[in-house]
Chains A and B, each alone.
Chain A
Amino acid sequence: MHNSFVLVFVVLIAIGFDFTNGFHDTANSVAPTVATGALKPRTAVLLSSALNLVGAFLSLKVAATIASGIVSQTSIIMPVVFGGLIGAIAWNVTTWYFGIPSSSSHALIGGVIGAMLAHAGGSAVLWGGVIGKVLAPAVAAPIVALSLAAIATTMARRLTKNTDSSTKSLGMRVGQIGSTSLLSIAHGTNDAQKTMGVVTLALVANGSLAAGGTTPKWVVLVCGLAIAAGTMIGGWRIIRTLGQGFTKLSPTQGFASQMTSSVVILTSSHMGMPLSTTHVATGAILGSGVGTRKRSVRWSLAGRVGIAWLVTLPASAICGALAFYGQRLFGTSLGIVVITAILVTYCVIIFVLSRKDKIDAHNVNDHWGEHGEAFEGLPEPTKVKV
């Protein structure tokens, strides 16, 4: 009875994380489409939501990696999984408020590592897996995406140099609708699996599933629905940063960056390498700016986002460890309830603060700097001809 209560609570928190993952990462799929007006903001978000759900059912390779490659499964107990989720949600909500496109995957992995360190020390963390499957791809992903998107944008720009502007705009916007769909599927297949991996960890920790067991079907369904619901809400603050902050996106850039992102994510997902979709999408958008004739990119903003990426893993690890210790202080069952209450209160405060300068579908494409963004005061990128 005790275990069932804790398990149910942890699964609900995991679904909550999946929901925050959805709205935090909506930008990865739709920001260029919204920024160039290829689709209306609400339409783009609804399309992305439906396709995230489809993507969740395509593959389970990354779920297996999350469940087995980061921490020792034999050392996992339910409070570790809980602490990890709390750390990840807290970091996701904070970065969403500031409009920072940080990695939900790294927040989750960091949270689990922090809670595990608090519980069993460094020996229970598979550092080789952390370096090889998390840190190395985290460095490689944005660089690869940036390079490929820069090449793709340059080639697309040159090949369509003599195309009349209305046909070019029409063609590339149609291409953007296709690529945003593909990217949404890619996000669903890559990110929903991470929560599936965590729920699998919880089931293993509770003894409901043997270590190394396959992810149950109901977990796949629930995680797919949660990420789709989160995507439907639309994380407008981050959509604004990705779509308006780094560069002035044209339909050609939008298409090239989205196609590159979706291919990189789907390929890595297929090979069982859990890349951060945020890192890939951000890298590709920066690359699409580099691929323009004037190389117009706000590098200062990119640098600040890069710092946030570096901080994500340790910050969420600290939150995860604090959640673990806090929960231990009150005892497992009461501790879970108390820590959850603290998290909910924190989320409500952040939500209320965000309403003071509300970003939504109506003003997401406003001129950069008009809404007192965290990175205001940066120079405007040189205007690029569509």
Chain B
Amino acid sequence: MTTTTTAVPLFDWHTLGQSTMTSAVISIGVVVLFSIAVYSLSIFRRSDTTVAVRSMSAIVMSTISLIIIATLVWGFYIIVNK
């Protein structure tokens, strides 16, 4: 009977909470940003919009795409470095 007993906390609320909050912010954030980008694309593709509006839509789309890509690259960077 030389079984080792490790002191394992029954329920790690801290990690669960941290994981949930991080997931919530990133997943909802990415979906919201992407939806705005799709809406901007829709405006960009309309033939009845002015050049200024189309330009603004293109800027919004590009910015959001960069933010999403940067978020994902940053996430992978953290995971790989762990």
A165 and chain B: residue at smallest CB distance:
B42
B34 and chain A: residue at smallest CB distance:
A175
Give the distance in Å from the alpha carbon of A140 to the alpha carbon of B18 in the complex: 13
Q: Which of B8, B18, B22, B72 contacts A69 (CB 8 A)?
A: B8
Q: Given known contacts A140-B16, A152-B28, A267-B19, is B79 in contact with A159 (CB within 8 Å)?
A: no
Asked if A256 and B31 make an inter-chain contact with CB atoms under 8 angstroms apart, the answer reads yes
Asked if A59 and B42 make an inter-chain contact with CB atoms under 8 angstroms apart, the answer reads no
Q: Which residues of B contact A260 (CB under 8 A)?
A: 23, 27-28, 31
Interface centre among B18, B28, B31, B72, by most chain A C-beta atoms within 10 angstroms, is: B31
Give the distance in Å from the alpha carbon of A73 to the alpha carbon of B16 in the complex: 25
Asked if B2 and A132 make an inter-chain contact with CB atoms under 8 angstroms apart, the answer reads no
Asked if B28 and A151 make an inter-chain contact with CB atoms under 8 angstroms apart, the answer reads yes
Q: Which of B10, B35, B76 contacts A159 (CB 8 A)?
A: B35
Give the distance in Å from the alpha carbon of A167 to the alpha carbon of B34 in the complex: 13
Give the distance in Å from the alpha carbon of A123 to the alpha carbon of B5 in the complex: 9
Asked if A137 and B16 make an inter-chain contact with CB atoms under 8 angstroms apart, the answer reads yes
Give the distance in Å from the alpha carbon of A120 to the alpha carbon of B2 in the complex: 11
Q: Which of B9, B39, B75 contacts A163 (CB 8 A)?
A: B39
Asked if B75 and A266 make an inter-chain contact with CB atoms under 8 angstroms apart, the answer reads yes
Asked if A144 and B20 make an inter-chain contact with CB atoms under 8 angstroms apart, the answer reads yes
Asked if A273 and B39 make an inter-chain contact with CB atoms under 8 angstroms apart, the answer reads no
Asked whether any CB of chain A lies closer than 8 Å to the CB of B38, the reply is yes
Asked whether any CB of chain A lies closer than 8 Å to the CB of B59, the reply is no
Asked whether any CB of chain A lies closer than 8 Å to the CB of B49, the reply is no
Q: How many A residues touch the partner, as a band?
A: 35 or more
In the complex, chain B residues 8-37 whose Cβ is within 8 Å of any chain A Cβ: 8-12, 15-16, 18-20, 22-24, 26-28, 30-32, 34-37
A157 and chain B: residue at smallest CB distance:
B35
Q: Which residues of B contact A59 (CB under 8 A)?
A: 79-80, 82
- What 1/0 mask marks residues of chain A from 150 to 183 whose CB sits below 8 Å from any chain B CB? 0111011001101110011001100100000010
In the complex, chain B residues 37-82 whose Cβ is within 8 Å of any chain A Cβ: 37-39, 41-42, 45-46, 72, 75-76, 78-80, 82
Asked whether any CB of chain B lies closer than 8 Å to the CB of A214, the reply is no
Q: What is the distance, in angstroms, from A246's C-beta to the closest C-beta of chain B? A: 19
Asked if A271 and B31 make an inter-chain contact with CB atoms under 8 angstroms apart, the answer reads no
Asked whether any CB of chain B lies closer than 8 Å to the CB of A223, the reply is no
Give the distance in Å from the alpha carbon of A129 to the alpha carbon of B8 in the complex: 6
Asked if A264 and B42 make an inter-chain contact with CB atoms under 8 angstroms apart, the answer reads no
Can you pick out 7 interface pairs between chain A and chain B where the beta carbons lie within 8 Å of each other? A123-B1, A148-B23, A148-B24, A148-B28, A167-B41, A171-B37, A182-B72
Question: Lowest 3 A-B CB distances belong to which pairs?
Answer: A171-B38, A128-B8, A159-B35
**Which residues in A have some Cβ–Cβ distance to B below 8 Å?**
58-59, 61, 68-69, 72-75, 120, 123-124, 126, 128-129, 131-133, 136-137, 140, 144, 148-149, 151-153, 155-156, 159-160, 162-164, 167-168, 171-172, 175, 182, 189, 255-256, 259-260, 263-264, 266-273
